[in-house]
Amino acid sequence: MTASTGQSVPTIIIALDLPTQDAAESFLSRWPREKRPFLKVGMQLFYATGPAWVARLKERGYPVFLDLKLHDIPHTVYHAVKSVANLGVDMLTLHVGGGVSMMAAAREAAEASGAGTMRLVGVTQLTSTDRRTMNEEIGIPGTVGDCVRRYAGLAAQAGLHGVVCSGWEVPMVKQAMREASVEGIAVVPGIRPQGVASDDQKRVMTPEQAVQNGADYLVVGRAVLRADDPVRAYEQIQQDITKARRI
Ligand SMILES: O=C(O)c1cc(=O)[nH]c(=O)n1[C@@H]1O[C@H](COP(=O)(O)O)[C@@H](O)[C@H]1O
């Protein structure tokens, strides 16, 4: 039996970490017309383009993950999610560290806006964080895995649809969410195909490893954005995923 038996095929999400709308459009123009990859618009591009361009991406048929990593008081997050709900995006991030009331407010706002299909996912410990940073700088004791597992349980308790974590923690976050009666999704950044530099990421995995560990979504930025042929790099990762599912 494969590690991913019973799951749908893991989906690649391209992190459009680019500075301007022109840069993003030029990147998208390199793709075959019929291809509509799942796109992540994060802070860099969202602050540069604004919400109208994101809404247009949706109108053009792209699945969109809006990665704003909301983290504020419950009242503010409630109203932020209400504003985002109008854009029709498929996924939105918030920080689990904001607490259960903040996450529950987000869920309530999504429901009140009729944005039932927008998946709310909680960022656990960033994949750029290692144990030393977490223990000595942030002041959270224990292993990163302990913390991520605990955060996944809190996200499920608050009614989120899943979490963002590294590939290393996927089995434990799924278990933690299941214990809270949620079949939650695992969205996994920090993906590095063999031979690609880790850059600022600390908890990295290859696409094959992440899939074998049960990841539902693989978030890939620089490995595709910096490739000489981004479409080819994306297709190679897709092949890696298919291969990993056969093992
Ligand atoms: O929420 C995210 O998407 C995210 C969470 C996390 O823990 N780590 C992380 O890298 N990300 C995002 O995933 C992308 C990873 O980019 P690359 O490291 O270039 O593949 C970036 O857009 C990050 O903002």
Q: For the chain, what are the domain ranges? A: 11-246
Tracing tokens 């063999």 back to the chain, one arrives at 194
Residue 174: name the closest of 132, 204, 210 by CA.
210
From residue 128, give the alpha-carbon distance in Å to each of 50, 113, 165, 202, 204: 26, 33, 11, 5, 9
Q: What is the pLDDT of residue 7?
A: 61
Q: How far is the CA of 206 from the centre of ligand 1 (A)?
A: 14
Ligand 1 atom closest to residue 192's alpha carbon, by position in its atom list:
20
Helices (H) and strands (E) counted in the chain, each on its own, are: 11, 8
Shortest-distance Cα residue to atom 11 of ligand 1: 189
Shortest-distance Cα residue to atom 5 of ligand 1: 126
Q: What are phi and psi of 34, to 5 degrees?
A: -80, -10
Tokens of 44: 């860099």
Q: What are phi and psi of 170, to 5 degrees?
A: -55, -50
Q: How far is the CA of 191 from the centre of ligand 1 (A)?
A: 9
Ligand 1 neighbours, Cβ below 6 Å, are 15, 17, 42, 67, 93, 123, 126-127, 164, 189-191, 201, 219-223
Task: Determine the distance from the C-alpha atom of residue 9 to the mean position of all C-alpha atoms in its chain, rounded to a whole number.
Answer: 16
DSSP annotation of 50 reads: -
Residue 120: name the closest of 44, 185, 217 by CA.
185
Return the best residue to mutate from 14, 71, 219 for the ligand 1 pocket (most ligand atoms within 8 A of CB): 219
Q: How far is the CA of 219 from the centre of ligand 1 (A)?
A: 7
Domain 11-246 part of CATH 3.20.20.70: yes
Q: 247: helix, coil or strand?
A: coil
Residue 3: name the closest of 169, 215, 167 by CA.
215
Q: What is the pLDDT of residue 70?
A: 98
Please tell me which residue in 69, 174, 202, 243 is annotated as part of the active site.
Answer: 69
Q: Is ipTM > 0.95 here?
A: yes
Instruction: Return all residues near 132 (Cβ < 8 A) that are at least 6 apart.
Output: none
Tokens of 48: 């540069």
From residue 59, give the alpha-carbon distance in Å to each of 22, 51, 53, 91, 167: 18, 13, 10, 15, 32
Q: What is the pLDDT of residue 247?
A: 73
Q: Give the chain's end-to-end CA distance (angstroms, integer).
A: 8
pLDDT in tens, the chain (247 residues): 233 334 689 999 999 999 999 999 999 999 998 999 999 999 999 999 999 999 999 999 999 999 999 999 999 999 999 999 999 999 999 999 999 999 999 999 999 999 889 999 999 999 999 999 999 999 999 999 999 999 999 999 999 999 999 999 999 999 999 999 999 999 999 999 999 999 999 999 999 999 999 999 999 999 999 999 999 999 999 999 999 988 7
Task: Determine whether 69 is an active site residue.
Answer: yes
Does the annotation place 69 within a ligand binding site?
Answer: yes
Does the annotation place 56 within a ligand binding site?
Answer: no
CB 221 within 8 A of CB 14: yes
Instruction: Return all residues near 195 (Cβ < 8 A) that are at least 6 apart.
Output: none
Q: What is the pLDDT of residue 246?
A: 81
CB 24 within 8 A of CB 49: yes
Shortest-distance Cα residue to atom 6 of ligand 1: 126
Does the annotation place 200 within a ligand binding site?
Answer: no
